[in-house]
Amino acid sequence: MYTLIHVTHEAHRKMGGIGAVLEGMLTARAYQATVGRTILIGCGSAAASPSSETFETVFRENGPRDSRSPACAPALAGAFASIEATYGARLLYGRRRVPCPLVRRRADVELLLFDVRDARPAPVNQLKRELWQGFGLESDRFENDWGYEEWVRLAAPALEAIEALVGAGAGETVVISHEFMGLPTLLAARLRRPDLKTVYWAHEVPAVRELLEQEAGHRLVFDRAMTTPDGSRCYEVRLRELGGYKHALVRSACHAGAVFAVSDRVAQELCLLSEGFRQRPIQVVYNGLPVRPIDLGARLASRALLRRYAAALTGLRPDYVFTHVARPVASKAIERDLAVLEHLDDALADRGRTAVLLVLATDAGRRDPETIRQMESEHNWPMQHRTGWPDLVKGEISIGRAAEAYNRWARATRVVLINQFGFTRASCGDRMPEAMAFHDLRQGSDVEFGQSAYEPFGIAQLETLAFGGICVITSACGCAELLVRTAEGDLPANVLLVDYAAPDGTGTEPVSDADTRRIEHEAAAQIARQLAARLPAGPQDFRRLLESGWALAERMSWQSVCRRYFVPALQRCFPRAGRPKRPGKKAGGDPERTAAGDAGAPAETTGGTDRDPVETHPGADRLLGPQ
């Protein structure tokens, strides 16, 4: 079985998207049947006592440690001590519990954290020299940016720790860099330990996200431009101009032993960065969904809790509760939700119906319960907000102001920004029902908005699908590819796939702000009409949506996705010793797609059935394995 080493900023705890990916993937039975050992590596303060939520066991910690905790083997302890002395890093090694979303199951994995704040300069500078010589990486341009410097400092001690941990098992060890953070370690491995297998797993292309967030005029034409040679060349130039350390690191990722991308659109975007990506295949390995079956009674019970909470906040007794769980960043395009709601408001008022949209988005971490209750009492949080800590900060500000402006004139709808982590009474205040839990937000939502302008995949947009909710997502979401593929083109009423692209004939030049607003409001009016026609009107509608949503979501679960995409891609890239790569069957009806979206030759499968394809973005005629 494989040993997989995941290098990520969410090694020690879930903070966002990659943490959600790790929870779903590491606890999937298909992953566990293929991977015998999992090690998570990241940066963190090894001097602090580990939290019981993160660690099951601490084997070794630099500095004082509870003498009752089991120690690691003497040879490994000696190797770790040598690493600390050589590199000036502080190391914590233990075992972490990774919970399975929605299901009472977990994965127990090894966790290795490095505190590199006091790293010795000489070894770091030596690695920077090697990175320049081997990959043209100009570390001197970025070393004052801690986002770059921290992960470069991690690379050499992490690589030596990997050698100490896996020993003779390196032959079936694969080091995976999730996003740019692990790339210095991966590149160091290519230079110093070329026998180690390596994967760069692209969960996004940072330069593309930055462009579409900073310059809104591109977001309506980007996808169309990607289908033309001239458009692609223009964006290649534009992304180089943006530069930055993330761009520099990701450009170098084409040197990995294998490249995974979470969607075909991300694979296409990688090809904008360098010829190295264009000249090699990229394995498309989709994310999965956290799912579990529920009956209609559980769905309606969660829905009743949401309606009670929405009524306590707004004074309306809503017939429908809509939700949007997202980071408060421009690419999530939360303003589109309000535009759809604006057009939906009259339709609902004419029917004598009401709706409340709950937006869960925070830029400031978890506020303590006493602070939440104080804001509840002083200014009616979260229905009313004040700018500045402990309330609205950074990306929350524009959303909070837009919600309050909307609520001043809307007749049948209201918008509530809940800028807080967690969805319980303890986290969100005394007006929330005592029985409420986060799963009620997913089980009870009638509509989940996910109208992103840039979304490499998008798990949150689909988390209500298994429970009978309607998911409103854009064609810019990478998850739309998996939806269409899994549904074989026949999407149920639970999925409203919408398009905010500029009209035909607009061309590929950026659109002005005024035209962007006009085009998006015209699209929002059409979406509102479609959504109004799909809203459930009675028990039979709720039952029908629950059945059709589950039928699709079950086939997109983490278990299904790991079995259909992740495991075959891993085996295809790195056949295990003594197990020769078998010729695959042609996957009927599941063709490869080129960067321009054209159908090519069917993809081969490795194991599984004819309906379990390995999705590959073709770049070259051969797979580049470890050199």
Checking if the pLDDT of 102 tops 60, the result is yes
Residue with tokens 């339709």: 347
Residue with tokens 């990997």: 162
- How do residues 116-142 score in pLDDT, each as one tens digit? 999 999 999 999 999 999 999 999 999
Written as one letter, the residue type at 21 is V
Checking if the pLDDT of 30 tops 90, the result is yes
Taking residues 147-155, what's their average pLDDT?
A: 97
- How do residues 270-306 score in pLDDT, each as one tens digit? 999 999 999 999 999 999 999 999 999 999 999 999 9
Q: CA-CA distance, 485 to 489, in Å (whole number)?
A: 6
Residues 413 and 405 sit within 8 Å (Cβ to Cβ): no
State the average pLDDT for the chain.
Answer: 88
Question: In a 3-state reduction of DSSP, which class is residue 366?
Answer: coil
Reported as type and span, the H/E element at residue 135 is helix 121-135
pLDDT of amino acid 506: 72
Reported as type and span, the H/E element at residue 515 is helix 513-534
- How do residues 500-529 score in pLDDT, each as one tens digit? 988 877 777 888 999 999 999 999 999 999
Q: CA-CA distance, 356 to 375, in Å (whole number)?
A: 21
pLDDT of amino acid 616: 57
Checking if the pLDDT of 353 tops 50, the result is yes
pLDDT of amino acid 71: 66
Residues 89 and 119 sit within 8 Å (Cβ to Cβ): yes
pLDDT of amino acid 73: 84
Chain-centroid distance, C-alpha 458? 6
Q: CA-CA distance, 250 to 207, in Å (whole number)?
A: 9
Taking residues 476-496, what's their average pLDDT?
A: 94
Give the CA distances from residue 599 to residues 227, 259, 594, in Å, rounded to whole numbers and listed in that order: 13, 21, 7
Q: CA-CA distance, 250 to 239, in Å (whole number)?
A: 12
Q: CA-CA distance, 592 to 581, in Å (whole number)?
A: 20
Written as one letter, the residue type at 14 is K
Contacts of 494 (CB under 8 A, 6+ apart): 465, 468, 469, 470, 471, 545, 548, 549, 552
Q: Which residue has the higher pLDDT, 374 or 366?
A: 374
- The closest of 211, 191, 64 to 135, measured between CA atoms, is 191
Q: CA-CA distance, 566 to 562, in Å (whole number)?
A: 5
The model's pTM is: 0.88
Checking if the pLDDT of 584 tops 90, the result is no
Q: Is the peptide bond before 382 cis (omega within 30 degrees of 0)?
A: yes
Taking residues 74-81, what's their average pLDDT?
A: 91
Domains and CATH numbers, the chain: 2-203 (3.40.50.2000), 296-556 (3.40.50.2000)
Neighbours of 258 (CB within 10 A): 24
pLDDT of amino acid 72: 76
